[in-house]
Amino acid sequence: MSRLSPLEIQRLTFPRRLQGLDSEAVREVLNQLADQCETDAREKGELKAETVRLTRELDEHRQRTAAVQQAMVEAQQAAEQTITRAEKEAQRILAEAQSLADRVLEDATRRVENIELVAGQLRSRRRSARADLRRLLEIIEGAIRDDESAESGEPETPTLAVLRPRHRESRGER
């Protein structure tokens, strides 16, 4: 038996028999069934439309999800590339810094060696100057001793020496 539409249910007729059913009661039930079928059909149509709408939304969401996933993959790849470039740049900077540090350390070492050499030379000059000062001090002390010795031989009271003209043996010698 095929499905009946609500209109077909409302138009149904049944053969009459003796002692048959109350036709008005049957008609009432048939009308209620037709109304229910019509409501069910309308709801079924609405549900189909809702299903189509939801299917479209689901497809749109799937497309968006795929786009977001693709964007995430691309972002991940871009992040990895950025990290790789940053790591390479950091290694380059570190290598340059290490090279600069090595040069600065070598320069500082040379300067320290030069300073130590100059300091050694200055210590040697100081020792030499000290020895020269000791010799000079010995000479001065010797001169002081000589002067004291010469002074001790001098009389205590001062004497005046008068300068007398010399007599010349002959005045005619001019």
**pLDDT by residue (tens digit) across 54-75?**
999 999 999 999 999 999 999 9
Q: How many domains does the chain have?
A: 1
Q: What is the pLDDT of residue 35?
A: 85
Supply the DSSP symbol for 155. Answer: -
Q: What is the pLDDT of residue 170?
A: 55
Enclosing H/E stretch for 72: helix 23-152
> Is residue 160 situated within a structural domain?
no
Identity (one letter) of the amino acid at 30? L
What's the whole-model pTM score?
A: 0.43
CA distance 46 to 40: 10
Beta carbons of 26 and 6 less than 8 angstroms apart = no
Expressed as residue numbers, the domain containing 42 is 22-150
> Is residue 71 situated within a structural domain?
yes
> Is residue 30 situated within a structural domain?
yes
Q: What is the pLDDT of residue 164?
A: 54
> Is residue 174 situated within a structural domain?
no
Burial of 30 (0-12, 13-18, 19+ CB in 10 A): middle
> Is residue 129 situated within a structural domain?
yes
CA distance 149 to 136: 19
> Is residue 145 situated within a structural domain?
yes
> Is residue 79 situated within a structural domain?
yes
> Is residue 126 situated within a structural domain?
yes
Q: What is the pLDDT of residue 99?
A: 96
Per-residue pLDDT of the chain (174 residues; tens, 9 = 90+): 567 777 777 777 777 777 777 777 777 888 888 888 889 889 999 999 999 999 999 999 999 999 999 999 999 999 999 999 999 999 999 999 999 999 999 999 999 999 999 999 999 999 999 999 999 999 999 999 999 888 887 767 666 555 555 565 555 554
Q: What is the pLDDT of residue 142?
A: 93
